[in-house]
Amino acid sequence: MRQTTGGDAFFLYTDRESRHQHISMLNIYDQSSVRGGPLRFKTILEQVEKRLGASPIFRQKLVQVPLNLDYPYWINDPDFDLEFHVRHIALPKPGDWRQLCIQVSRLHSRPLDMSRPVWEMYVIEGLDNVDFLPGGAFAIMTKVHHVALDGVAAAELTMAIHDTEPYPDKERRQRRWRAERPPRSSELLGRAGINNLRRGLRTGLTLTGKLGGAARAMASSSKEPVSAEQGKAPVTRFNQPISPHRVWDAARFDLEEFRAVKTAVPGATINDVVLTVCGGAMIRYLDSKHETPDLPLTAMVPVSVRSKDESGGAGNKIHLSRTSLGTLERDPLKRLALVRKNMEALKRANAVSARELMEIQEQIPAPTLMLAGRAVAASRGPGRSYRASHNMVVTNVPGPQQPLYFCGARLVMFTGMAVIGDNMGISHAVTSYDGDLVIAPLSDRKMMPDPAFYRECLEAAFAELREAAVGKLASKPGKPKKKSAPAKKRGKRATSRGGAKT
């Protein structure tokens, strides 16, 4: 039995009906490397069972402390049922990309059963008419509550259940596991009393030391010149209460092209390019609705503060930052330079304070943190004001750059779905894998009735930025003029496993 941290429990305390705090990962596979023909669901189920030891979250469920007097505990579920968690569905004919987007949007909209281990996995077959996939492709969508892990841990978990070759010579050693009896209420209350006493004794010393370091970091960052556009955010259609319904899509790009674009602005990173593309896409989208804002858009950017020692572990190690996207500037390269400048200022400010503030949160008593979580999730008051100060979420989770396999099938696309909430109704899950970069927007169905058009806005925004970068690089003395590579399309229509029309 292990206890959740304050950072993990916070995602429980902010969970509300129709505003659920879970994330999803979507993996799409090509079966052309599978021996003996198409995979059977039974084979997939057996493989998942072999890899349950990759993370404790697969077999552990939450136990709440009476009256929420302390953070919940994880215990090995004595009634664990793998076939409850792993489900098998198929797309209706013709099985195209739009149908997949609709299906995963519906699945992501539904809440998890929090009385069981907080994850579900859907094997989705019938992807027979997706233009960048061969026939017989399938997808696996894994939905996990944020209390169990953050985006970085989710990506690491995804990698842990895959292999680097279709059929490795040695099977991984399985971890031993045994069920645990649920603790009695009296036992939990006794632990709560001891924990809160210790936490109270540590809080004074922790606050004195940690807040001092955080305050010094913030004071030093406040001396940096801050752009005026880092202030108030405009109100857009996405800064409204959300409904229970979700829409999702994904734009695929060549990662090398993002690397090339960032060289056009000294010091820029791939993440800066991503933020510039998301800002440019949103302006295009709002322009089309005649809703152009008169202030620059802002983004919430979750930043991992996970140390090397914490790599591969579950739980949440993130700090939420806010940055301007410089969208009043319509020149894409100048906008990229603004984003780079703003992100550099954030990095200097967060170098110490992010980790310090996260550690402070771990010392807050559970009842206090629960009230804070409810205030943050409330539809009015400071929580609403905080969410409304952001126009979108952009979370970037880098993945491995070599092919991965599951049951012999090659992973061809790794993407996901983040979280949205009231007054912050769009998020972008950004992933990279094996030379591809994917930007996957999730939104509310009423706010964004046309997610495919927004995906086109993302593609157009990157194309504009790429063309500007190629022009600047070609104009440098001593540099031969290069042709711009075409934007990564959804591919040519694949007709059979391993083959495609040309």
The per-residue pLDDT for range 108-161, each reduced to its tens digit, is 999 999 999 999 999 999 999 999 898 889 999 999 998 887 656 777 777 778
Say yes or no to pLDDT of 237 above 90. Answer: yes
Percentage of the residues of the chain whose pLDDT score is greater than 70: 76
Q: What is the pLDDT of residue 447?
A: 97
The stretches of 362-502 forming alpha helices (DSSP H) are: 366-377, 382-388, 451-475
Say yes or no to pLDDT of 345 above 90. Answer: no
Please tell me the distance from the alpha carbon of residue 413 to that of residue 141, in angstroms, as a whole number. Answer: 12
Residue count (the chain) = 502
- Which of 108-117, 170-179, 314-323, 364-373 has maximum average pLDDT? 108-117
Look up tokens 């405009």; give the residue.
Answer: 234
Say yes or no to pLDDT of 37 above 90. Answer: no
Q: Which helix (H) or strand (E) holds 395?
A: strand 392-398
233-397+423-474 and 2-190 share a CATH fold: yes
Q: What is the pLDDT of residue 198?
A: 77
Residue 167 tokens read as 């059929």
The per-residue pLDDT for range 476-497, each reduced to its tens digit, is 765 444 444 444 544 333 333 3
Decide if 294 contacts 459 (C-beta within 8 A): no
User: How many C-beta neighbours within 10 Å does residue 260 have?
Assistant: 18
The per-residue pLDDT for range 238-247, each reduced to its tens digit, is 999 999 999 9
How far is CA 280 from its chain centroid?
20
Q: Which helix (H) or strand (E) holds 122?
A: strand 119-127
Say yes or no to pLDDT of 362 above 80. Answer: no
Least confident stretch, 279-293, 351-365, 367-381: 351-365
Cis peptide before 111 (omega within 30 of 0): no
Say yes or no to pLDDT of 56 above 70. Answer: yes
Q: Where are the beta strands (DSSP E) in 235-353?
A: 246-248, 251-254, 298-304, 318-324
Q: What is the pLDDT of residue 372?
A: 66
Please tell me the distance from the alpha carbon of residue 322 to that of residue 272, in angstroms, as a whole number. Answer: 13
CATH topology of domain 233-397+423-474: Chloramphenicol Acetyltransferase (3.30.559)
Residue 312 tokens read as 């591969």
Mean pLDDT over residues 70-89, rounded? 95
Q: What is the pLDDT of residue 17?
A: 84
Q: Give residue limits of the domains in the chain.
A: 2-190, 233-397+423-474
Closest CA to 457 of 287, 331, 237: 287
Q: Which residues pair with 318 in a beta bridge?
A: 304
Residue 29 tokens read as 């596979």
Q: What is the pLDDT of residue 374?
A: 63
Please tell me the distance from the alpha carbon of residue 327 to that of residue 173, in angstroms, as a whole number. Answer: 51
Q: What is the pLDDT of residue 246?
A: 97
Closest CA to 78 of 112, 45, 117: 117
Decide if 278 contacts 253 (C-beta within 8 A): no
Please tell me the distance from the alpha carbon of residue 332 to that of residue 280, in angstroms, as a whole number. Answer: 8
Please tell me the distance from the alpha carbon of residue 467 to that of residue 480, in angstroms, as a whole number. Answer: 15
Decide if 131 contacts 97 (C-beta within 8 A): yes
Please tell me the distance from the alpha carbon of residue 488 to that of residue 436, in angstroms, as a whole number. Answer: 9
Say yes or no to pLDDT of 88 above 70. Answer: yes
Please tell me the distance from the alpha carbon of residue 51 to that of residue 47, in angstroms, as a whole number. Answer: 6
Q: What is the pLDDT of residue 134?
A: 87
- What's 2-190's CATH class? alpha beta
Decide if 448 contacts 426 (C-beta within 8 A): yes
Please tell me the distance from the alpha carbon of residue 283 to that of residue 296, in angstroms, as a whole number. Answer: 10
- Sheet harboring 60-63: ordered strands across? 2-3, 73-76, 60-63
Say yes or no to pLDDT of 192 above 60. Answer: yes
Say yes or no to pLDDT of 343 above 80. Answer: yes
Mean pLDDT over residues 205-214, rounded? 51
Q: What is the pLDDT of residue 381?
A: 60
Q: Which helix (H) or strand (E) holds 43?
A: helix 41-50
Widest distance between CA atoms in the chain: 76
